[in-house]
Amino acid sequence: MNITKSIIETTIKTVGRKRINRYLKRRGIKFEIARQGATYYSYYWQSARKKRDLREDDDFWKLSTEIIKEKRTFLKYDRLFTFWQILQRLPYPGDPVVEIGTYRGGSAKFLYQAIKKMNLNCPLYVFDTFEGHAVVDADLDGRHKVGSFSETSYEEVKNYIDAAEVEIIPGDFLKTAGVLEPIQNFSLIHIDVDVYPVTKFCLAFFKPRTKPGSVIVIDDYGNNYCQGLKQAVDEFVQENADFCMHYLLSGQALLFRLKKSDDMRQ
Ligand SMILES: C[S@@+](CC[C@H](N)C(=O)[O-])C[C@H]1O[C@@H](n2cnc3c(N)ncnc32)[C@H](O)[C@@H]1O
């Protein structure tokens, strides 16, 4: 890895960043070497140095850095910051928050710690099989297989989150969702399950359990390896005009409930 890095750095130094970028552009390669030497699609870096520096937001930076360092989540600053912002502006502080797809617990722990830091007193529910994907659609879900993401366990995640007030419910959400049946007022729903069947199920299940202003965050909507998940979201948006979708460059999709509809439980 270090050798690769030093070869890239030497090439940049000798050939020049701009010349390499021009060459890549001519060849139609959507790749660019940014000022600091990183190689990324350029639109993710446009004017990065002019943008607000997240490190100045002490509370967010400290908490997210801690969680990222613990290496129990795939989410980095950009995606964690989405939650931070949503929690700061919750229309119904105190209403429940839920995560489906916790894996090793990192994103759930971030939600818990952020809720605590902001004194929101929201109950937090966390779901996973803790045995990997339970159901996949072989035609839509590509490389995802039953059992992927099984390197975790309920006990390990419980110890890691270390908060008696967080309800962690193990099992296939298609079977365990009933636990949430009586709750009708989720303010934030995080769906991070990668595949079509459970994403489709989650959206249908939570739709009547939201209020205008509630937010559903779907991770990996923009991930090319999660086409099934994207299809489930697109189908939902097409059929539900009372939800408005925003796609973020972080790869997340946000679904905002706009107005009351007949299927709302309250
Ligand atoms: C990408 S991982 C979640 C990553 C995690 N949120 C993080 O912080 O990095 C996807 C998770 O969805 C879970 N999952 C998939 N299908 C499920 C189902 N039917 N019921 C419950 N969990 C499911 C898998 O077990 C896996 O742990």
Q: Which one-letter DSSP state was computed for residue 191?
A: E
Cβ–ligand 1 distance for 133 under 6 Å, the answer: yes
Cβ–ligand 1 distance for 172 under 6 Å, the answer: yes
Q: Cα separation of 71 and 120, whole Å?
A: 26
Cβ–ligand 1 distance for 141 under 6 Å, the answer: no
Cβ–ligand 1 distance for 252 under 6 Å, the answer: no
Q: How far is CA 252 from CA 4, 17, 76, 260, in A?
A: 30, 31, 12, 24
**What distance in angstroms lies between residue 183's CA and the mean position of ligand 1's atoms?**
22
Rama region for 42: left / alpha / beta (φ>0; ψ in -120 to 50; rest): alpha
**What distance in angstroms lies between residue 233's CA and the mean position of ligand 1's atoms?**
17
Q: Which residues of 164-186 are buried (b: 16+ CB within 10 A; e: fewer)?
A: eebebbbbbbeeebeebeeeeeb
Cβ–ligand 1 distance for 174 under 6 Å, the answer: yes
Nearest CA to ligand 1 atom 11: 101
Cβ–ligand 1 distance for 156 under 6 Å, the answer: no
Nearest CA to ligand 1 atom 16: 133
> What CATH architecture does domain 52-257 belong to?
3-Layer(aba) Sandwich (3.40)
3-state helix, strand, coil in the chain (%, to 5): 40, 15, 40
Q: pLDDT in tens for each of the 266 residues of the chain?
A: 578 777 877 888 888 888 988 898 888 877 777 665 555 555 666 677 788 888 899 999 999 999 999 999 999 999 999 999 999 999 888 999 999 999 999 999 999 999 999 999 999 999 999 999 999 999 999 999 999 999 999 999 999 999 999 999 999 999 999 999 999 999 999 999 999 999 999 999 999 999 999 999 999 999 999 999 999 999 999 999 999 999 999 999 999 999 776 666 55
Domain definitions of the chain by residue range: 2-49, 52-257
Q: Could you identify the residue written with the tokens 């991770």?
A: 219
Nearest to 39 by CA among 12, 15, 69, 65: 12
- Residue 235 buriedness (CB in 10 A; 0-12 / 13-18 / 19+): middle
